[in-house]
Structure 1
């Protein structure tokens, strides 16, 4: 069974009645509900827990970490970021959602500003599948719509992705590479754009299916991390295994 930890800074839900009405159990709570139904062993962690809920023990038992953050990126301790990065490089999967593009962990793994254009204007978003052969797009229609989402637009300052799976169009005319994959070390990373805190995006069945597929894909990182450092010659010239 795939073990998933859903991390959410959990600040908007505590400070905004509007957000609390949309996600009464927190964004992490809603994500955990459909992930559990999909058959994953799921736990949650939040910013204000000791070590942000991401202890060495928790991460050692996590196959895929889901990250949602927005207003408190700077409050995430650098020590915890390095701990998460250590686990990603050694094969733990990472699914970064919406405004998590500006999280310390995503920026560190990307090595760029990860900045973009944005506009909060209750716009319709149409999400197109541009790589239908990819397993993250399995079961997703050619295109689907969200009635209201925060606009994210190009240019998105991230490295060229390994795969671009989704491309979004917004009612105001912008487009955005909304579903991207990366490999860092032994770990797999999936970034997926929809999920503004004041909209019920994570109740949408297609969005849920994409995240479920993303977790499955990210869980397949190789956990057999190489040993680095000085090494004696394995097969010196003239000393092959077939020498008599």
Structure 2
């Protein structure tokens, strides 16, 4: 069973009435709930817990970490970012959601500013599946229609994804790379754009399916551990 830790700042839902109305128990509980229903072993962690809930023990018992953050990126301790980065490089999967593009861990792994255009105006969004054979797109129609979204627009300052699974079009005319896959060390990273705190994005079954697929894709596969450094030859040398 894949072990998932769902991390969330858990600030908007306590401080903003509109966010609390959508996610009274927090975005993390909503995500953990539907992932658990799909058979994953889930736990949650939040910013204000000791070590942000991401102790070495927790991360050692995590196959895939999901990350939602927005207004408190700078409050995440660098020591914890180092810890998460190390686990990703060792093979832990990481799903970075919505405004988590500005998180310390995503910027660290991308090596860029991860900046973009944005506008909050309840726009229609259409996510086109541009790589239909990818496992994250399994069971998804040709596109996903979201009636109310926050717009994110290009240029998205990230390295070229290893695979682009979704591209978004917005009612105002912008487009955005909304489903991006990366490999970092032995780990896999998926950035997924939808998920604004005041819209019921994570209540939609199709979005839940995407995230469940992404967890399966990002989970470690149990391949061999690479060895580094000086070593003796496998065959005799003349």
TM-score over 0.5 for the pair:
yes
Match of 2:196 in 1: 196
Q: Secondary structure at the match of 2:88?
A: helix
Segments of structure 2 that go 5 or more residues without pairing to the other structure are none
- Which TM-score applies when normalising by structure 2? 0.97
Tell me if 1:130 matches 2:130: yes
Is 1:96–1:190's contact at 8 Å kept on the other side of the alignment? yes
How many residue pairs align between the two structures?
238
Q: Which moved more, 1:30-39 or 1:214-223?
A: 214-223
Deviation, structure 1 residue 18: 1.2
Q: Secondary structure at the match of 2:139?
A: coil
Q: Tell me, in whole angstroms, the C-alpha distance in 2 between the residues paired with 1:164 and 1:44.
A: 28
Match of 2:179 in 1: 179
Deviation, structure 1 residue 229: 2.5
Q: Tell me, in whole angstroms, the C-alpha distance in 2 between the residues paired with 1:225 and 1:7.
A: 27
Match of 1:225 in 2: 225
Divergent runs of 4+, >6 A? none
Match of 2:31 in 1: 31
- Which TM-score applies when normalising by structure 1? 0.95
- Give RMSD over aligned pairs: 1.1
Is 1:127–1:166's contact at 8 Å kept on the other side of the alignment? yes
Aligned 1:134-173 pairs, distance under 5 A = 134-173=134-173
Q: Tell me, in whole angstroms, the C-alpha distance in 2 between the residues paired with 1:172 and 1:92.
A: 37
Cα shift readout 1:74-119 (whole Å, capped 9, x = no counterpart): 0000000000000000000000000001100001001111111100
Is 1:186–1:222's contact at 8 Å kept on the other side of the alignment? no
Match of 1:107 in 2: 107
Q: Tell me, in whole angstroms, the C-alpha distance in 2 between the residues paired with 1:142 and 1:21.
A: 31
Match of 1:94 in 2: 94
Deviation, structure 1 residue 58: 0.3
Assess, with a 3 A threshold, how the Cα gap between structure 1 residues 13 and 120 changes in structure 2: closer, same or farther: same
Match of 1:76 in 2: 76
Q: Secondary structure at the match of 1:107?
A: helix
Q: Tell me, in whole angstroms, the C-alpha distance in 1 between the residues paired with 2:223 and 2:110.
A: 21
Q: Tell me, in whole angstroms, the C-alpha distance in 2 between the residues paired with 1:163 and 1:91.
A: 18
Q: Tell me, in whole angstroms, the C-alpha distance in 2 between the residues paired with 1:192 and 1:161.
A: 12
